[in-house]
Amino acid sequence: MVVGDFPTEVDTLVVGAGPGGYVAAIRAAQLGQKVTIVDKGALGGVCLNVGCIPSKALIQAGHLTEHAHGNEELGITTENVSVDFSKVQEWKGSVVNKLTSGVEGLLKGNKVDIVKGEVYFVDNKTVKIMDEKNSQTYKFNNCIIATGSSPIEIPSFKFSDRVLDSTGALNLKEIPKKMVVIGGGYVGTELGSAYANFGTEVTILEGAKDILGGFEKQMTQLVKKRLKSKGASIITEAMAKGVEESENGVKVSYEANGKEETVEADYVLVTVGRRPNTEDIGLEQAGVEKDDKGLIKVDKQGRTSQDGIYAIGDIVAGAPLAHKASYEGKVAAEAISGEKSEIDYIGMPLVAFTDPELASVGYSESEAKEAGYDVKAAKFPFAANGRALSLNNSDGFMKLITRKDDGLVIGAQIAGPNASDMISELGLAIEAGMTAEDIALTIHAHPTLGEITMEAAEVAMGTPIHML
């Protein structure tokens, strides 16, 4: 006797439980929708399990290792600093577990049904969800696709035990003596910096003229200076050619300045970007249109070419950022509920957890001029801030971009300690339509790094106190 596959009917189906999908599911449930979320992997997606969170945990452990060696300038010296890397990895795993179990609790607390399995679209209202044993048909009224992205694999650098993607680099059993990083974007530079802090000899190969594309040269120069002080080598305009693997390491060949060179290491980390997970899920059957990069075409509410199907996160245009995916997830959930929410990226921050940290929001000075704005760029150094000096970490600056005629804040860039936290105030200022005067009149606690924001605003007004 054959048991029929009777369709399960759901109101809103969310495909993917990363920072876009699970946030969309919770917001949809808050708005009264009956929500089912499905993912073949662990809740939290790449970000919580093998991306944002574990990488920041590893970066923090690297900073603590660097600090443990002391600082002769401060009169602090230490001997015999040791790192039990298995315990570092165990602690990193505990951070991930707390957050993923927290996501499960939030979904269940909002009465979201959680389904494990792989999704394939049958048509624009139907999917099959498959696990190792079963296949079940689901019919939905609305669907939010949030399937994320995967690391790009270079044909001449196939992933293996010695050729790593970011997941492999996060899960190493020991601290490498030497590591080659192909790609000087934020992932490669962050992980390269983390391992350099552990004492690894790091070589970064970047094809472009500079590392950390998307940030101004003044900002990236600070990161390069710190990396070099940790013993790292940075080779720009370099083309990785191939790798020879042995039982104990790799030999990477690359071309730079018209010459072919080689560098040996224990591992090579490949971080040359990510591709959207839009293949092999049946989007064609659903009639969902993609562009030539495999990204799903959406409107300002995340709606695809098929009414009732939405897409968010790394599978739509824009930077592959977790907070972008979460933001878009909320907008899509609200759009399904008939609200007038729509996507506006002007306050979308970009952060690199390098050393020092880099962060930007809104327009850069050059972007603002290209957009036709007459702007003023007001710069204030961390070296003139008491808190930064007391931290013995005063390299860096904040640059505030304001409109000349009315002082409206339209952008900001920060390079320095805690830039990732400080950028939020500037994002709020842009979203709220604040001027430099509004920020300058806001009392900032002393002594804090946050005062730099107030000082930069005073520079923009032409009335700085702590700068000539």
- Proportion of the chain above pLDDT 90, given as a percent: 97
**How remote is the C-alpha of 121 from its chain's centroid?**
28
Answer yes or no: 446 catalytic: yes
Give me the pLDDT at residue 418, please: 98
432 class by beta-carbon count within 10 Å (0-12 exposed, 13-18 middle, 19+ buried):
exposed
5 pLDDT above the threshold of 80: no
49 — pLDDT class (breaks 50, 70, 90): very high
First to last CA, the chain: 87
Give me the pLDDT at residue 398, please: 98
Q: Which of 67, 323, 446, 466 is catalytic?
A: 446
Q: How far is CA 376 from CA 408, 429, 430, in A?
A: 10, 16, 15
Residue predicted with more confidence, 133 or 121:
121
Length of the chain: 468
Strands (E), 56-196: 70-71, 76-77, 113-116, 118-123, 126-130, 135-145, 149-151, 163-164, 178-182
How high does pLDDT run on average in the chain? 96
Location of each CATH 3.30.390.30 domain in the chain: 356-461
Compute φ and ψ for 379, nearest 5 degrees.
Answer: -115, 135
32 class by beta-carbon count within 10 Å (0-12 exposed, 13-18 middle, 19+ buried):
exposed
Give me the pLDDT at residue 132, please: 86
**8-state DSSP, 151:** E
Q: Are 355 and 193 in contact (CB under 8 A)?
A: yes
Q: What would the two tokens of residue 112 be? A: 């979201």
Give me the pLDDT at residue 128, please: 97
Q: Are 234 and 225 in contact (CB under 8 A)?
A: no
Give me the pLDDT at residue 202, please: 98
123 pLDDT above the threshold of 90: yes
Query: With the CA atoms of 152, 156, 162 and 164 taken in that order, what torsion angle do they form, in degrees rounded to the nearest 10?
Result: -10
Location of each CATH 3.50.50.60 domain in the chain: 8-151+275-345, 163-272
Superfamily of domain 163-272: FAD/NAD(P)-binding domain (3.50.50.60)
201 pLDDT above the threshold of 60: yes
Distant-in-sequence contacts of 247-253, Cβ < 8 A, 24+ apart? 249/162, 249/178, 250/162, 250/163, 250/180, 252/180, 252/182, 252/205
For domain 356-461, is the CATH number 3.30.390.30?
yes
Strands (E), 171-235: 178-182, 201-205, 233-235
Sign of CA dihedral 146, 310, 304, 281: positive
Sign of CA dihedral 166, 168, 173, 176: negative
Q: Could you please report the per-residue DSSP string of 365-422?
A: HHHHHHTT--EEEEEEEGGG-HHHHHTT----EEEEEEETTT-BEEEEEEESTTHHHH
Give me the pLDDT at residue 9, please: 95
Q: Which residues are 275's β-sheet partners?
A: 150
Q: What would the two tokens of residue 439 be? A: 């920020």
Contacts of residue 447, Cβ cutoff 8 Å, sequence gap at least 6: 385, 386, 387, 390
Domain 8-151+275-345 class, CATH top level: alpha beta
Contacts of residue 264, Cβ cutoff 8 Å, sequence gap at least 6: 178, 249, 250, 251, 252
Name residue, tokens 């957050």. Answer: 99
Give me the pLDDT at residue 2, please: 42
1 — pLDDT class (breaks 50, 70, 90): very low
- For the segment 202-221, the average pLDDT, to the nearest whole number, is 97
